[in-house]
Amino acid sequence: MTIVAKDLVRRYARAKETPFEKRTYTTALDGVDFFADDGEAVGIIGESGSGKSTLVRLLLALDTPTSGTIEIGGRSVDARKSARSLHWLRRETGIVFQDPYASLDPRMSIGRAIAEPLWALGIEGDHRARVAEVLQDVDLEPDMASRFPHEFSGGQRQRIAIARALAHKPSILVGDEPLSALDVTVRAQILDVLRNLLARDNMTMLFVSHDIGVVQALCDSVVVMKDGAIVERGAVSEVLQHPREAYTKRLLAAIPTINTAP
């Protein structure tokens, strides 16, 4: 599914220290144009505070832009609309968060956690069978569905989080630093899972990461963000091996990488 955003601006009002102080604003995004083709995996890199997470939140209608437009699959995205009006967007998107420990309810079996998007989105069918299917997709056994998060390692929990994000068969998968909390060996295993799923299902993917090795191994293209703007974009091989911008060169030199090539 295609994603097209034009001239996105997001400003946040700063708290006033006194009632008489003039209101000031912080600009988190400043005129960003972003696009992703159907089935494309796009890496989003940049230093902390560069606007990566703000961009993703706007694209998912979890926040409202100050100005600018967003279209997903040719349909306008407006976070000011009702939850019912955005039901189609929730149906088309799945997200995997950074922390596999915090993203799962410890009181909920993993089968119930994975099935939660199915009943929340009103998706009909055999939910138990779908849970078993996505557990197999992430290389876990279907009979694990009755167990609880504390019974699993960090890598297994992130596999569960991926299964939950994919349960309702979204067209777009978003990863917000989904591998950063895992050790190097487990990271490589999860990367293989994601790579295989993307190839099989032809999903569009947005992948926010500080890990250049992961972006290089998983993504087709990359955008580099600095101070709320995109300063460079292009094919992964071109940008990461032959960066044009001085900021991109400094960023690549400063960020540690791991070897994740298949």
Please list the pLDDT of the chain residue by residue as tens digits (262 residues): 999 999 999 999 887 777 778 888 899 999 999 999 999 999 999 998 999 999 999 999 999 999 999 999 999 999 988 888 999 999 999 999 887 778 889 999 999 999 999 999 999 999 999 999 999 999 999 999 999 999 998 889 989 999 999 999 999 999 988 887 677 778 888 888 888 888 888 899 999 988 888 899 899 999 999 999 999 999 999 999 999 999 999 988 876 554 544 4
Q: Name, in order, each residue with C-beta under 8 angstroms of 223's C-beta and a sequence gap of 6 or more.
A: 34, 42, 43, 44, 45, 230, 232, 233
Range of the domain at 111: 3-254
The residue type at 38: D
CATH of the domain at 50: 3.40.50.300
Cα separation of 166 and 127, whole Å? 13
Residue 127 CA, distance from chain mean position: 24
Would strands 25-36 and 3-13 be described as parallel, antiparallel, or unpaired? antiparallel
Contacts of 142 (CB under 8 A, 6+ apart): 131, 132, 135, 136
223 bridge partner residues: 44, 233
260: in domain: no
pTM to 2 decimal places = 0.89
Cα three-residue angle 45-50-54, rounded to 5 degrees: 90
| Residue at 27 is within a domain | yes
DSSP 150: G
Tell me whether residue 14 is in a domain. yes
Give domain status of residue 139, yes or no. Answer: yes
Residue 44's DSSP bridge partners are 208, 223
Q: Is residue 262 part of a domain?
A: no
Residue 261 lies in a domain: no
Q: Is the dihedral of CA 152, 158, 160, 161 positive or negative?
A: positive
Number of domains in the chain: 1
> Is 79 a member of any domain?
yes
Q: Has residue 74 been placed in a domain? A: yes
